[in-house]
């Protein structure tokens, strides 16, 4: 599953998985139901209130047609890349480069949206073959839709308890992937390796290379434990994506091995 790094207000980049096709389809259906409910509400108003043709036209265009037409654009602008459906599925629009989508990007994907939905479902086809969760509007705007869902907590996966008042020392640890952090944990907690201390020294060197953290004056064990605590505190969730330190394999925890809309 592809991931997209999103920069937070604290200048920390958090990696999120691209939203699944299923989540996007359900979000689209929920949004369709919201718009349908809005339409039915004012259709009932037309029957209840005695209006002439001119008044009916004004009410229709002002309270029905315009809100339904601009629903996705307005909601994504006002709800940080979400609509009611997206918010329910915990997904949002994000830029591929990790920044906040601009008005122009929201506008572009909104303008192309009808082609994605109604032109033989081409948007769904493009999402399936694209690999980064992008429909035509996303390709044009440089955006995608990411999942904000939290899976198993990293405190459970990495066996690292972190207090809420924890003070982060190394914000650069978010350059690691979940798989790399799990690899660090395996080396730190392994007691059966005869060359355990040498492995920790090598792993510490790998982490310094991958993150740019020096950890001056810290021993390998102390440094790796601090990295794990900071990583758990900053990310707060476990991703399913894989990633290995340069030159590592997946078969061993040793740092010398290769670890809709």
Please give the pLDDT value at position 217.
Answer: 83
Q: Answer yes or no: do 16 and 73 share one domain.
A: yes
241 part of a folded domain: no
Q: Answer yes or no: do 96 and 176 share one domain.
A: no
Its domain, for residue 228, covers 154-235
43 part of a folded domain: yes
Can you read off the two tokens belonging to residue 62?
A: 């002002």
Q: Answer yes or no: do 40 and 121 share one domain.
A: yes
- pLDDT at residue 9 tops 90: no
Q: Answer yes or no: do 137 and 160 share one domain.
A: no
Of the two residues 260 and 18, the one the predictor is more confident about is 18
Residue finishing a domain among 121, 147, 173: 147
Q: Answer yes or no: do 131 and 12 share one domain.
A: yes
Q: Answer yes or no: do 205 and 100 share one domain.
A: no
Q: Answer yes or no: do 12 and 117 share one domain.
A: yes
Q: Answer yes or no: do 100 and 205 share one domain.
A: no
Side-chain half-sphere exposure of 128, counting CA atoms within 13 A: 8
Please give the pLDDT value at position 193.
Answer: 59
Q: For 150-179, what is each residue's pLDDT tens digit?
A: 554 444 445 455 666 678 888 888 888 877
* Spatial distance between the Cα atoms of 12 and 234, rounded to a whole number of angstroms: 8
135 part of a folded domain: yes
- pLDDT at residue 49 tops 50: yes
Average pLDDT, the chain: 78
Q: Answer yes or no: do 7 and 43 share one domain.
A: yes
Confidence of residue 120 (pLDDT cuts 50, 70, 90): low
Tally of residues, the chain: 261
Q: Answer yes or no: do 23 and 133 share one domain.
A: yes
Question: Are 69 and 15 spatial neighbours (Cβ–Cβ below 8 Å)?
Answer: no
Please give the pLDDT value at position 192.
Answer: 62
134 part of a folded domain: yes
Containing H/E element for 92? Answer: strand 91-95
Mean pLDDT across 34-41: 90
Confidence of residue 138 (pLDDT cuts 50, 70, 90): very high
Identity of the highest mean pLDDT range in 104-108, 142-146, 220-224: 104-108
Please give the pLDDT value at position 11.
Answer: 52
Mean pLDDT across 26-49: 87
Please give the pLDDT value at position 238.
Answer: 38
261 part of a folded domain: no
Q: Answer yes or no: do 85 and 213 share one domain.
A: no
Q: Answer yes or no: do 70 and 140 share one domain.
A: yes
- pLDDT at residue 183 tops 90: no
Residue finishing a domain among 92, 119, 147: 147
Please give the pLDDT value at position 100.
Answer: 81
Write down the H helix ranges in 84-177: 84-89, 103-118, 122-130, 136-141, 154-157
- The C-alpha angle with vertex 140 and arms to 109 and 110, in degrees rounded to 5, equals 10
245 part of a folded domain: no
258 part of a folded domain: no
Q: For 200-256, what is each residue's pLDDT tens digit?
A: 888 889 899 888 898 888 888 889 888 888 888 787 643 333 344 544 433 333 333
Our count of domains for the chain comes to 2
Can you read off the two tokens belonging to residue 124?
A: 């769904």
259 part of a folded domain: no
Identity of the highest mean pLDDT range in 76-90, 114-128, 213-227: 76-90
Residue finishing a domain among 129, 147, 165: 147
């Amino acid at each position: 599953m592809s991931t997209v790094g999103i920069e937070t207000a604290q200048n920390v980049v958090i990696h999120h998985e691209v939203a699944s096709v299923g989540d996007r389809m359900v979000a689209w259906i929920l949004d369709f139901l919201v718009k349908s409910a809005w339409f039915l509400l004012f259709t009932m108003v037309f029957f209840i209130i005695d209006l002439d043709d001119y008044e009916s036209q004004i009410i229709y265009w002002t309270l029905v047609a315009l809100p339904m037409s601009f629903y996705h654009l307005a909601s994504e602008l006002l709800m940080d890349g979400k609509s009611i459906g997206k918010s329910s599925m915990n997904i949002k629009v994000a830029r591929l480069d990790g920044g906040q989508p601009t008005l122009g990007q929201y506008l572009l994907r909104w303008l192309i949206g009808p082609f994605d939905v109604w032109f033989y479902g081409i948007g769904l086809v493009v999402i399936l073959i694209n690999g980064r969760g992008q429909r035509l509007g996303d390709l044009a705007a440089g955006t995608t839709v990411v999942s904000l869902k939290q899976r198993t907590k990293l405190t459970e996966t990495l066996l690292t308890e972190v207090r809420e008042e924890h003070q982060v020392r190394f914000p650069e640890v978010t350059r690691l992937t979940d798989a790399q952090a799990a690899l660090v944990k395996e080396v730190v907690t392994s007691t059966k390796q005869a060359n355990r201390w040498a492995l920790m020294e090598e792993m510490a060197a790998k982490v310094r290379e991958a993150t740019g953290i020096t950890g001056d004056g810290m021993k390998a064990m102390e440094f790796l434990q601090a990295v794990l605590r900071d990583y758990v505190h900053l990310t707060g969730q476990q991703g399913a994506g894989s990633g290995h330190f340069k030159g590592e394999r997946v078969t061993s925890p040793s740092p010398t091995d290769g670890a809709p809309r």
